[in-house]
Structure 1
């Protein structure tokens, strides 16, 4: 299935601006102050409540104060949970994000009634300076066994192709860029510029500067039978690409995004999305500004079989 009804979320205890990730995450702005953690926690709790109110299962695990993990609120980068019972642990660019890979989080998922049959730890490529940051860097079309990946310091092309070959996905490799000051620089994660849902794809094609790559991506999306809903670079800067489709216990689908993303969309884009899914949005402003990630980054999908 393309979507799951269960997500893992990590409750922040020391959220803040991470200078290590800011090296190549141009969405981050350091506005950290004494209220940042408190505001981020409130945004987190409100978001969890919204998801649960729609019948979506949310497994929450509280972060730990030591070691300091300012980005722990974004678990989808270091772990993913497959329908075959595999849990993948991914290589992370920022050294202080590697501490987020905590065994007790996997135990909490199992204690919630899910069966982890095997743990595939591919994080040792960090020693070679090669990274593949989970479903931040790889966007999966599960039904068509396609994986989209925008090359950056957070997605090593060789690792991406190897992962796809070993797990039965066809890789679609391209390069995407954003304006950062006066420069045109690589987008750090594929999931800020595109979202694959069951019957549609939201994507910023304008950030794929190479015409041949752009046409190839369009062609793959169209051949997969999904409607292409295009967003602008300005909307991308407002996290409109950072969305995730989920379903609830009744099988109804929802497209999850932030309030910032929702308010950046046009009435026509909202109508296109609502043909397929109800929209859930939450105020995540503190998390977005300081963390440089949004709604999708906060959700690690759990496709695991029930124990």
Structure 2
């Protein structure tokens, strides 16, 4: 059983060729094209990234920044949480990715960098062979781990395969909580591509778009698991979810200060009552991520890979 749900150590990848990824746009309905040259988009994304990192460091978060590799075409490398997760046991999981160009984001150097920062890696559990069969599970985008209560939540989608999720839960000893979350796209209900877009799991609370879980039995089951583990449920609407209000991450700042990290758009979308309820538990830190959100279809949470590894 893990001792902690949140960490002070965050890995982030600084983009070098960020743009809208046409390979992910087929089922990420949050992505939009903006009428700018790719170089200009990348430059804006880098500015947003640097300013975000600076805000986190000012709050005492230990942000380990690794530059993206210029050799591969990796427009989404700024979202490392989809290909890797780091665990207190010293285990590292590597995940199968839906978009072929995202598979190039998986790099050995990242592990070497973490070891050079004093972290210990015991074992690498590699699920990537599932890509050959066309099955995917995109890291902590697909899987939300309640590390302390040993439960894992997963909204099934083309990027989150049920059998693969169950295999992950068996390997890491989590009780699986499985459901489908949808959003309205041109009048149709379509699966939300990642669980962490509609749900943020913190130590004592959960920000969640329950209305996206159309099946009432499934919705009740998710709420039941959250309540059973003592989490206060803070509901957001589908419109707020579209402003990335579900894509947040609780982290530790200096002196063990609890912080809830989100984008400026997510922060702005919250009403006073939601903000008051969050601020009972922790301080809100937000940063403008407009270009990254619009072109990448992901936000603050996707940009942070939590490092729970033990220190040597």
TM-score interval w.r.t. the shorter chain? over 0.9
Q: Which residue number corresponds to residue 6 of structure 1?
A: 9
Match of 1:246 among 248, 251, 255: 251
Deviation at 1:13, TM superposition (A): 0.5
Match of 1:278 among 271, 277, 283: 283
In the TM superposition, structure 1's runs of 4+ consecutive aligned residues that sit over 2 Å from their partners are none
Contact 1:137 1:191 in 2 (8 A): yes
Deviation at 1:32, TM superposition (A): 5.2
Q: Which residue number corresponds to residue 30 of structure 2?
A: 27
Alignment of 1:138 with 2:143, yes or no, is yes
* TM-score, scaled relative to structure 2: 0.97
Alignment of 1:215 with 2:220, yes or no, is yes
Q: Aligned to 2:189, what secondary structure does the other structure show? A: strand
Return 5+ residue gaps in structure 2 as ranges. none
Match of 2:306 among 282, 291, 301: 301
Deviation at 1:267, TM superposition (A): 0.6
Contact 1:7 1:299 in 2 (8 A): yes
* TM-score, scaled relative to structure 1: 0.99
* CA distance in structure 2 between the aligned counterparts of 1:203 and 1:184, rounded to whole angstroms: 18
Deviation at 1:166, TM superposition (A): 1.6
Match of 1:171 among 151, 173, 176: 176
Match of 2:200 among 195, 204, 216: 195
Q: Which residue number corresponds to residue 162 of structure 1?
A: 167
* CA distance in structure 2 between the aligned counterparts of 1:136 and 1:273, rounded to whole angstroms: 22
Select between 70-79 and 23-32 the one with higher mean Cα deviation: 23-32
Q: Aligned to 2:22, what secondary structure does the other structure show? A: coil
Contact 1:177 1:209 in 2 (8 A): yes
Deviation at 1:225, TM superposition (A): 0.7
Return 5+ residue gaps in structure 1 as ranges. none
Alignment of 1:71 with 2:69, yes or no, is no
* CA distance in structure 1 between the aligned counterparts of 2:178 and 2:110, rounded to whole angstroms: 31
Contact 1:74 1:298 in 2 (8 A): yes
Name the Cα RMSD after superposition. Answer: 0.7
Contact 1:17 1:32 in 2 (8 A): no
Deviation at 1:248, TM superposition (A): 2.1
* CA distance in structure 1 between the aligned counterparts of 2:194 and 2:127, rounded to whole angstroms: 18
Contact 1:79 1:90 in 2 (8 A): yes
* CA distance in structure 2 between the aligned counterparts of 1:127 and 1:205, rounded to whole angstroms: 33
Deviation at 1:5, TM superposition (A): 0.3
Alignment of 1:17 with 2:27, yes or no, is no
